Amino acid sequence: MILVSRMVVISAALLLLAMGCTGGDTPVEAEQDAQPGSLVGFVSPIDISVAEAILFDGDDEVMRVAFENGVFALESVPPGTYRLEIRAFGYLTNDAARNLRVLQGETTDLGRFIMIGRIEDSPQTPIVRGEVLDADSGAPIPGVAVRAECTSGFCTVQHAVTDASGSFSLPIPTELETRLVFTAAGYDGRVVLVEPTPRGELVQTTVRLIADPGGPAAD
């Protein structure tokens, strides 16, 4: 009887061990079985001749692809969170796409990536120039932070600060609406919309800021 009991215990132990080895996927196997995803999008303007989409995991480059007719596709991307840069000759790097989620087995359409030409390389880049004045006195306001943003799509934000004469200058996208955001110590902020601007055009604007009695005093 003792011998039979020991044999039963040993058999049960071997059965449990076998079940542990073959039953279900381990975390490693499940990770290996994860289906990759894809990211697609397009660039504006679409006639850019030389451009690349570069995918990063932190600071590590994962992959890069060249555009075809203004469209890019990053395929077979492991699921995870990434950032994307669009680089094109004669244009500022578009690094606005961050914390992009690639989902298992899914294709994510990111839409439009808006490129802004380098002034030194693309003389046809639209420019917005202006001055910022005190609404009451009409005096120029130096040190005003000016931010140019696209109202849609992925667009790298442009920054400027008004000089001693209250003047500023910024490149803006071609044929797309742009939002200008003005902030200064001691003044209420203001937002100004710039209508779509053709290539080679210069937009002139004068912005008047209202003093904020309850805000911090300007230097």
pLDDT at 64: 96
Query: How confident is the model at residue 29, as a pLDDT?
Result: 46
Say whether pLDDT at 214 is over 80.
no
The domains located in the chain, with CATH, are 35-114 (2.60.40.10), 127-209 (2.60.40.1120)
Residue 219: pLDDT band (50, 70, 90) is very low
pLDDT at 92: 93
Over the stretch 54-91, which tens digit does the pLDDT of each residue have?
999 999 999 999 988 889 999 999 999 999 999 998 89
Q: What is the pTM of this model?
A: 0.74
Over residues 148-161, the pLDDT tens digits come to 999 999 999 999 99
13-27, 181-195, 200-214: the lowest-pLDDT one: 13-27
HEC readout, the chain: CHHHHHHHHHHHHHHHHHHHHHCCCCHHHHHHHCCCEEEEEEEECCCCCCEEEEEEECCEEEEEEECECCEEEEEEECCEEEEEEEEECCECCEEEEEEEEECCCCEEEEEEEECCECCCCCCCCCEEEEEEEECCCCCECCCCEEEEEECCCEECCEEEECCCCCEEEEECCCCCCEEEEEECCCECCEEEEECCCCCCCEEEEEEEECECCCCCCCC
pLDDT of residue 158: 94
- What pLDDT is attached to residue 166? 98
Q: What is the mean pLDDT of residues 27-54?
A: 80
Residue 129 has a pLDDT of 97
